[in-house]
């Protein structure tokens, strides 16, 4: 089998396996799909309470758009990907550890980075499926529409995802080391999602928190996507945001792979792979 | 002569943990190199030696048993051969490929059952599991379907192939793990405690399958702490204890090493610890005693030169100690006796 075809087949096998396992827990799957819209519902009504004629005037003055709900919806989408990067690969490894299947996977004659990449694609597919449901439900329940085509934001979304999943590689390494990183994952995920402005414009943050926010590459990705899809002015010129995201993607994908390889080598030396 | 499995002076040590066993093999390990004086330095941590200077050479088509108690270093050895653990020292090769420098080439030639029934996805069906692992082993689709069908039939899993693994019995899960290991048609199989936790019938069936695999030319390294299993299946056996190989030969030769002796087993009730007085019986070379809590009796195994000469004295001493003989027998030496003779303890201890 040719190298590329075999690689695609391995990735597809991982995605298919994860989707099948997910579907064997139908209630969890249902909740995973509808949960984001449940969180969004009170925000929607709060937004309406602050709006007149569907325009939130104060919000318009701060951000350049009165469409509060679409602003938040785009933030929810970005937050879903950030959470997937945090939880997706690390949790997938953790699940394999606790169920006892990790060693069986790692005994296969394929690169462990490819196995991890397969898990990241799997996580991406599940998150994207989730987003389709969020958008469809948002449209049906609240009449939400994003009129600008999504592909225009792709140039910013793609490097952000690559960087995020590079970060996910490093995080998966951390899970291999710490075994149970749930609390750390929760706290970091919350801080990164919140400070990158997934549910509000970062401009409203007090200066110290704004400084942290501006140090997070995700802030620029989210800002660029909102700027393009909502036609609002970006925090810094889009060209700079693009450059920041490309550097983020390069640095984090390389660093993430490196860290994961080092941790893999470490657990092979210390013999802690099968411990959980 | 070329060997399918070669281990040369394999050595594995782990940093000791504050609480709990060494990571590789559970409980074993002698604390060494205790340099606890140097605070905060990683080198200051004591090391647990899990495998020490293990050398094995296994020929093509051979079933080689690694026999030892829990925590003896069997699993650590097999994990090093399977590329899951890096040896601290020494080298190992599978079909001529180095386990550290050529891990992918090694994994392509290995079928491995580690962790038994837990090594497959319980929320997938048996067939879905095999399809998934066939993709990981890069077996082309059509070929994979054929092999899966063949393995399901051969391992008697066909009828439940489309059921979730969580509904399988332990024996079926273990057979599925074996089917997964056999998917890439590997020349070498590493089976870590393949029958542990199985009922006697399932264990017997699995042993039969292992014999058939040998007939088909597979080289098999099998770890077990069941002596009968090692005896029945293995062409050669290495007895491992505290990380060291303490004997290596065919089962027959290992048992023959005790043929200069007779092995007498006495079960008696109402006795104090029999070791002190039993050792005094003329002609006794070795005494091993075990208190059986269930029956509240002592099991005394005596290795002696002439049972007939020693029996009257033995019976006299039991009576003198206020004991009552429940059972007395003389038997052919077993691997358990070999193990007892080498280590001074029972395999199950």
Q: Give pLDDT tens digits for B88-100.
A: 999 999 999 999 9
Instruction: Report the gap between the CA of A51 and the closest CA in chain B (Å).
Output: 48
- Show the 3-state SS of chain B: CCCCEEEEEEEEEEECCCCCCCCCCCCCCEEECCCCCCCCCHHHCCEEEEEEEEEEEECCCCEEEEECCCCCCHHHHHHHHCCCCCCCEEEEEECCEECCCCHHHHHHCEEEECCHHHHCCCCCEHHHHHHHHHHHCCCCHHHHHHHHHHHHHHCCCHHHCCCEHHHCCHHHHHHHHHHHHHCCCCCEEEEECCCCCCCHHHHHHHHHHHHHHHHCCCEEEEEECCHHHHHHHCCEEEEEECCEEEEEECHHHHHHCCCCCEEEEEEEECCCCCHHHHCCCCCEEEEEEEEECCCCEEEEEEEECCHHHHHHHHHHHHHHCCCEEEEEEEECCCHHHHHHHHHCCCCCC
Give the highest mean pLDDT range of A90-94, A264-268, B20-24, B155-159. B155-159
Quote the pLDDT of residue A91: 81
Quote the pLDDT of residue B236: 96
- For residue B135, give the nearest of A10, A100, A273 by CB distance: A10
Quote the pLDDT of residue B42: 54
Higher pLDDT, residue B157 or A148? B157
For residue range A219-229, list pLDDT tens digits in order. 999 999 999 88
Confidence category of residue A144, pLDDT binned at 50, 70, 90? confident
Give every CB contact of residue B47 below 8 A, 6+ residues apart in sequence. Answer: B13, B14, B15, B16, B31, B32, B33
Domain boundaries, chain B: 3-13+39-254, 260-331
Q: Is residue B73's pLDDT more than 70?
A: yes
- Average the pLDDT over B248-259 and give the result: 84
Q: Is residue B39's pLDDT more than 80?
A: no
For residue range B106-152, list pLDDT tens digits in order. 999 999 998 777 889 999 999 999 999 999 999 998 999 999 999 99
Which CATH fold would you assign to the domain B260-331?
Alpha-Beta Plaits (3.30.70)
- Average the pLDDT over A110-138 and give the result: 88
C-beta atoms of B135 and A12 within 8 A: yes
Confidence category of residue B29, pLDDT binned at 50, 70, 90? very low
- Average the pLDDT over B53-79 and give the result: 91
Measure the CA–CA gap between B261 and B340, rounded to whole angstroms.
13
- Average the pLDDT over B269-290 and give the result: 86
C-beta atoms of B107 and A109 within 8 A: yes
For residue range A199-221, list pLDDT tens digits in order. 889 989 999 999 999 988 889 99
- For residue B120, give the nearest of A12, A101, A268 by CB distance: A101
Confidence category of residue B23, pLDDT binned at 50, 70, 90? low
Q: Is residue A84's pLDDT more than 50?
A: yes
Indicate the class that CATH gives domain B3-13+39-254. alpha beta
Q: Nearest 5°: phi and psi at B97? A: -100, 135
List the single best residue of B110, B138, B139, B141 to mutate versus A (max A Cβ within 10 A). Answer: B138
C-beta atoms of B120 and A265 within 8 A: no
Instruction: Report the gap between the CA of A119 and the closest CA in chain B (Å).
Output: 13
Q: Is residue B45's pLDDT more than 70?
A: no
C-beta atoms of B180 and A104 within 8 A: yes
What's the pTM?
Answer: 0.81
Q: What are A45's two structure tokens?
A: 């009504």
Measure the CA–CA gap between A28 and A22, rounded to whole angstroms.
8
Q: Is residue B72's pLDDT more than 80?
A: yes
Give every CB contact of residue B181 below 8 A, 6+ residues apart in sequence. Answer: B111, B112, B113, B189, B191
Higher pLDDT, residue B1 or A63? A63
List the single best residue of B135, B189, B191 to mutate versus A (max A Cβ within 10 A). Answer: B135
Confidence category of residue B260, pLDDT binned at 50, 70, 90? low
């Amino acid at each position: 089998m040719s190298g590329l075809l075999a690689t695609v087949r391995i990735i597809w096998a991982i995605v298919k396996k994860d989707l099948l396992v997910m579907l064997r827990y139908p209630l969890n799957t249902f909740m995973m799909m509808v949960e984001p819209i449940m969180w969004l519902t009170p925000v929607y009504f709060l937004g309406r309470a602050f709006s007149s004629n569907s325009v939130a005037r104060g919000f318009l003055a701060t951000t350049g758009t009165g469409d509060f709900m679409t602003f938040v919806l785009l933030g929810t989408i970005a937050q879903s990907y950030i959470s997937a990067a945090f939880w997706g690969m690390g949790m997938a490894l953790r699940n394999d550890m606790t169920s006892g299947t990790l060693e069986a996977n790692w005994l296969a004659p394929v690169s462990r980075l490819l196995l991890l990449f397969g898990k990241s694609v799997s996580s991406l597919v599940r998150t994207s499926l989730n987003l389709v449901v969020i958008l469809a439900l948002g449209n049906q329940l609240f009449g939400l529409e994003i009129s600008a085509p999504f592909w225009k934001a792709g140039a910013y979304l793609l490097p952000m995802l690559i960087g995020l999943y590079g970060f996910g590689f490093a995080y998966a390494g951390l899970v291999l080391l710490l075994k149970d990183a749930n609390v750390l994952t929760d706290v970091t995920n919350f801080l990164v999602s919140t400070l990158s402005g997934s549910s509000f414009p970062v401009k409203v943050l007090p200066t110290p928190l704004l400084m942290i926010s501006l140090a997070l590459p995700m802030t620029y990705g989210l800002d660029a996507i909102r700027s393009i899809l909502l036609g609002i002015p970006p925090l810094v010129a889009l060209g700079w945001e693009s450059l920041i995201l490309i550097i983020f993607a390069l640095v984090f994908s390389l660093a993430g792979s490196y860290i994961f390889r080092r941790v893999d080598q470490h657990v092979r030396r210390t013999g802690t792979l099968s411990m959980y | 002569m070329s060997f399918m499995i070669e281990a040369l002076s394999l050595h594995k040590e782990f940093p000791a943990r504050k609480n709990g066993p060494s990571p590789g093999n559970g409980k074993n390990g002698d604390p060494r190199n205790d340099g606890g004086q140097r605070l905060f330095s990683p080198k200051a941590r004591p090391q647990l030696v899990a495998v020490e200077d293990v050398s094995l050479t296994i020929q093509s088509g051979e079933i080689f048993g690694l026999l030892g108690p829990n925590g003896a270093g069997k699993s650590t050895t097999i994990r090093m051969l399977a590329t899951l653990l890096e040896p601290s020292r020494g080298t190992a090769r599978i079909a001529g490929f180095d386990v550290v420098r050529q891990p992918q080439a090694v994994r392509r030639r290995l079928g491995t059952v580690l962790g038994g029934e837990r090594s497959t996805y319980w929320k997938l069906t048996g067939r879905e599991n095999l399809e998934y692992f066939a993709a990981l082993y890069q077996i082309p689709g059509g070929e994979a379907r054929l092999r899966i069908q063949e393995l399901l039939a051969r391992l008697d899993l066909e009828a439940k192939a489309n059921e979730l693994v969580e509904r399988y019995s332990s024996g079926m899960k273990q057979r599925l793990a074996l089917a997964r290991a056999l998917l890439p048609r590997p020349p070498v199989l590493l089976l870590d405690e393949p029958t542990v936790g199985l009922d006697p019938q399932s264990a017997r069936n699995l042993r039969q399958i292992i014999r058939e695999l040998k007939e088909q030319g597979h080289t098999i390294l099998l770890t077990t702490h069941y002596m009968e299993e090692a005896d029945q299946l293995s062409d050669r056996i290495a007895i491992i204890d505290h990380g060291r190989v303490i004997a290596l030969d065919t089962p027959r030769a290992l048992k023959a090493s005790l043929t200069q002796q007779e092995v007498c087993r006495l079960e008696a009730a109402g006795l104090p610890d029999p070791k002190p007085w039993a050792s005094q019986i003329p002609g006794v070379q070795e005494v091993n005693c075990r208190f059986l809590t269930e029956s509240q009796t002592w099991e005394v195994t005596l290795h002696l030169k002439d049972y007939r000469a020693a029996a009257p004295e033995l019976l006299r001493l039991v009576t003198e100690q206020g004991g009552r003989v429940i059972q007395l027998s003389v038997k052919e030496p077993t691997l358990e006796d070999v193990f007892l003779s080498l280590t001074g303890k029972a395999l199950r201890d």
